[in-house]
Amino acid sequence: MDAKTYMAGVFDRASDTYEQVGVPFFAPVGAELVRQAAPAPGDRVLDAGCGTGASLIPAAQAVGEHGRVVGLDLAPGMLAIAARSIGDHGLANATVLRGDAEHAADLLPGERFDVVLAGMMLYFLPDPPAAVRSMAALLRPGGRLAASLLAQPSREEAEFLTRVAVALAPFTSAAGGAPSPIGCTRPPS
């Protein structure tokens, strides 16, 4: 079994209890990622690794009825919960799609987004730089790729983040994109 199939299975099996960590966690982290990415009314947003919709729902609310949000995830259970949440919130401007962030550009040929969100998912991927390149290929000129991470990185994680930062460089503040020096946000404290 490959790593992607394994991880999709883990999240699929956890989907029913994923939000039950004892304290609100995913919703505030998702909302902060959307706040940092600052999608505007009418924007098109891709939420790669959307899970149960922690970033997808606030993004759909931010872009309004003239915007569009696509949630992408490998785990069917997570997508089912995200789709239910879309319906519960009455959001006609959001949809979910089963797929792999490393191949997002292949799944959405011809699509371009103002914002691509990667909420706490890069470290689950076997090839994060490939996923960043694929997600970045879906950005419109001047678009923003925003990612969130779980915690202060270890030395090994910092090295990993440096590799991801190289892939994100064309889309960070120097290029008119996300304000963070490596395009990543941390959960609010």
Map residue 160 onto helix, strand or coil. helix
Token pair, residue 70, equals: 């696509």
What Cα–Cα distance (Å) separates residue 102 from each residue in 17, 57, 107, 121?
26, 22, 10, 11
pLDDT tens digits, 143-155: 999 998 776 667 8
Quote the CA–CA distance of 165 and 173 in Å, as a whole number.
12
Domains parsed from the chain with CATH numbers: 3-16+26-185 (3.40.50.150)
Lowest mean pLDDT among 23-27, 124-128, 162-166, 172-176: 172-176
pLDDT tens digits, 47-69: 999 999 999 999 999 999 999 99
